[in-house]
Chain A
Amino acid sequence: MNPLLEITNLSAAVDGKPILKGLNLTVCAGEVHAIMGPNGSGKSTLAAVLAGRPGYEVAGGEVLFDGANLIDMKPEDRARQGLFLAFQYPVEIPGVNSTYFLKAALNEVRKARGLPELDAMEFLDLVRARMDVLHLDQSLLNRPVNEGFSGGEKKRNEIFQMAVLEPRLAILDETDSGLDIDALKIVAEGVNKLHRSDNAQVVITHYQRLLNYIIPDYVHVLHDGRIVRSGGKELAYELEERGYDWVTDHVKSERPELAAA
């Protein structure tokens, strides 16, 4: 199968400080990948670089998204091509109605896919159907984007947007943190329902807990800007039991070429 995302030897810096230091990752359609790793290891940085956040400088390496060079694309073009980031900290946009915002976003994405724009009625039908999946309170949609949403509502709203935009590659940056157990189940259920053979998900998390509901095909451990270990879902259990030190120490003994930086 052709990879949807192919990251080769990616290094990136923020404010001149190197964060990603030669990262490799391949994600194919139909797969779910989990990325774990200690605080500050570069998980959100990876998500930001993939989404094209200003201020994140790519110093080397290559990222192909469906065969095209992702790094050269504007952030909005990446989104239109089907890359979606569920933010760790979704931002509030006062004055901009959520429904209006999402309709504009969806129509941009549809335009890029050669699909006709949806009118207000068609859009609302779609929205209602997707809301049910996520048990999201419809009144949130009448409010400005994320404004005054609780932490959990913000996270759910991210997944709701994902459900409407139907990306080919979704990166979920700690969508589970801040969710109560019921919300966690709902979000996981939503993510699972959206999962298809032609799309893929990269789930960044600290907790094995989420992976009880979203079953990953692969688990990767990110440490100091590199993926130092990859495995199946058992790796998550092992991490939970033994902590990150277990992997990072391993790195030093097993693969000294990676440890030396």
Chain B
Amino acid sequence: MNTTLDPIENLVQSDYKYGFVTEVETDSVPPGLNEDTIRLISAKKHEPDFMLEWRLRAYRHWLTMTEPKWANVHYNPIDYQSIVYYSAPKRNANGPKSLEEVDPKLLETYERLGIPLHERAKLAGVAVDAVFDSVSVATTFKEKLGEMGVLFCSFSDAVLNHPDLVKKYLGSVVPYTDNFFATLNSAVFSDGSFCYIPKGVRCPMELSTYFRINAANTGQFERTLIIAEEGAYVSYLEGCTAPMRDENQLHAAVVELLALDRAQIKYSTVQNWYPGDAEGRGGIYNFVTKRGLCKGRHSKISWTQVETGSAITWKYPSCVLLGDNSVGEFYSVAVTNNRQQADTGTKMIHIGKNTSSTIVSKGISAGHGQNSYRGMVKVQKSAAQARNFSQCDSLLLGDKCGAHTFPYLEVKNPTARVEHEATTSKIGEDQIFYCNQRGLATQDAVNMIVNGYCKEVFKQLPMEFAVEAQKLLGVSLDGSVG
């Protein structure tokens, strides 16, 4: 009889609808990591010497580092020698020149993921770079953007075609020595997106990269670099999915953003890597370093993230507010259901005068999920009149999950104003019953409450994606209450 069921206790596994595998022939390197692996990756990509040198420096530095253990997440040790560091769908020697040459199986894969790449069905107003395992398979609207001087291409293309820009900016925000995972990425990164918005240009469409891990036992190490010159504006979105597999897979990405005078970069992520099953088998380890440098005066960088996937998420998109009057923003929704763990947050480093930052973090835990917010606000001595506002909210569904908050604050300038607010709330059975009694099904009630809770963050997303994010949240929490 349904009246005796406790709706919050009654957990069932939700379906991950992106869990399929595409059968393609791949060109992979054997598992394991040493200097030869790196030379091989670099050679496969026909990279110039400076790139290989940089990778090797990173690798040698990585050998001296140890994996960080401070995050509030738990997992078995990762065997870095069992990972395949490069896997690409086989293609003709020079890569596809146009979409017609792209393997139809790959196009179909993206179609199934809701990211049509071919001309007829391309997403209106959104240019897409599609990254499949270690390589970019297609980038749409390249020419159209090119007319305005906007460069949007795979990272590999950028290394070959715009080596000066890459040389100048690669590692300028996240140096190869930065941290264990970023350093590993610097050594072995395979592909990713490169965007360059020239002076005074407002990028006419959303730029987006869709990351897909397909091959088994493969790590994905992508690298994204976005440069907005003086007065430029760009809105960029990344999405991610992976097949359902019983083994964990490592995803260690690096994203670098650079905003010059009055430039604005809006970076949105909808992260839906495979989270593992209800018992915690499989899923992606999402260990990511994302940082933006507001180098110019009045520049602005906004991070918006909706993190619903991955077995473990370890990520702190940060802003270094160097230019006077620069602005950093971080809006985050992080969901952990079943056995998922997330340790995520941001760092706002105030260096310039009159710099301001806003942090809005919404954690949602269901099932046995563990959700930690870790945020640092650092006001350096030079940052007169710096301002920060932080709001960290946690929402619990059921009583087996957890929410934790670790705010760090370091203020060295007495004129700074820093505010922090935190709340923890719970979706109660009585709230759900109240909704039921008005005719709403339990899942709709949960979605309504959760969406209301996340409203502030969703409204930061580009329209098309806000709707997607809402749906995704519904799917992620599907079955989290009976």
Chain A residues with CB under 8 Å of chain B are 49, 51-58, 71-72, 74-76, 78-80, 84-85, 87, 90-97, 100-102, 104-106, 108-109, 112, 144, 161, 165
Q: Can you give 21 contacting A-B residue pairs, CB < 8 Å?
A: A52-B2, A54-B5, A54-B429, A57-B3, A71-B3, A74-B436, A74-B441, A80-B439, A90-B434, A92-B431, A93-B435, A93-B452, A94-B425, A94-B452, A102-B438, A104-B440, A105-B440, A106-B439, A108-B441, A109-B439, A144-B452
The answer to whether A57 touches B439 (Cβ under 8 A) is: no
Interchain CB contact (< 8 A) of A79 among B429, B430, B431, B436: B436
Interchain CB contact (< 8 A) of B437 among A55, A85, A97, A144: A85
The answer to whether B438 touches A87 (Cβ under 8 A) is: no
The answer to whether A76 touches B441 (Cβ under 8 A) is: yes
The answer to whether A55 touches B441 (Cβ under 8 A) is: no
Distance of B411 from chain A, by nearest CB (Å): 31
- Write out the residue numbers on chain B whose beta carbons fall within 8 Å of the beta carbon of A92: 431
Q: Is B1 an interface residue (CB 8 A)?
A: yes
Most chain A beta carbons < 10 A, residue from B428, B430, B434: B434
Alpha-carbon gap, A101 to B429, bound state (A): 17
- Write out the residue numbers on chain A whose beta carbons fall within 8 Å of the beta carbon of B94: none
In the complex with contacts A76-B436, A91-B430, A96-B449, A58-B441 CB distance below 8 A: no
Most chain A beta carbons < 10 A, residue from B440, B441, B453, B455: B440
- Write out the residue numbers on chain B whose beta carbons fall within 8 Å of the beta carbon of A106: 439
- Write out the residue numbers on chain A whose beta carbons fall within 8 Å of the beta carbon of B3: 49, 52-58, 71, 75
Known: A95-B451, A108-B441, A112-B439; 9 extra A-B contacts, CB below 8 A, are: A51-B437, A54-B4, A54-B6, A76-B435, A90-B434, A95-B449, A96-B448, A105-B435, A165-B438
The answer to whether B438 touches A74 (Cβ under 8 A) is: no
The answer to whether B438 touches A95 (Cβ under 8 A) is: no
Chain B residues with CB under 8 Å of chain A are 1-7, 425, 428-431, 433-442, 444, 448-449, 451-453, 455
- Write out the residue numbers on chain B whose beta carbons fall within 8 Å of the beta carbon of A58: 1, 3
**Chain A: interface secondary structure?**
mixed
The answer to whether B453 touches A54 (Cβ under 8 A) is: no
The answer to whether B2 touches A76 (Cβ under 8 A) is: no
- Write out the residue numbers on chain B whose beta carbons fall within 8 Å of the beta carbon of A57: 1, 3-4
Alpha-carbon gap, A102 to B430, bound state (A): 17
- Write out the residue numbers on chain A whose beta carbons fall within 8 Å of the beta carbon of B5: 54
In the complex with contacts A95-B455, A96-B449, A101-B6 CB distance below 8 A: no
Residue of B nearest to A75 (CB): B436
Residue of A nearest to B434 (CB): A91
Residue of B nearest to A49 (CB): B3
- Write out the residue numbers on chain B whose beta carbons fall within 8 Å of the beta carbon of A56: 3
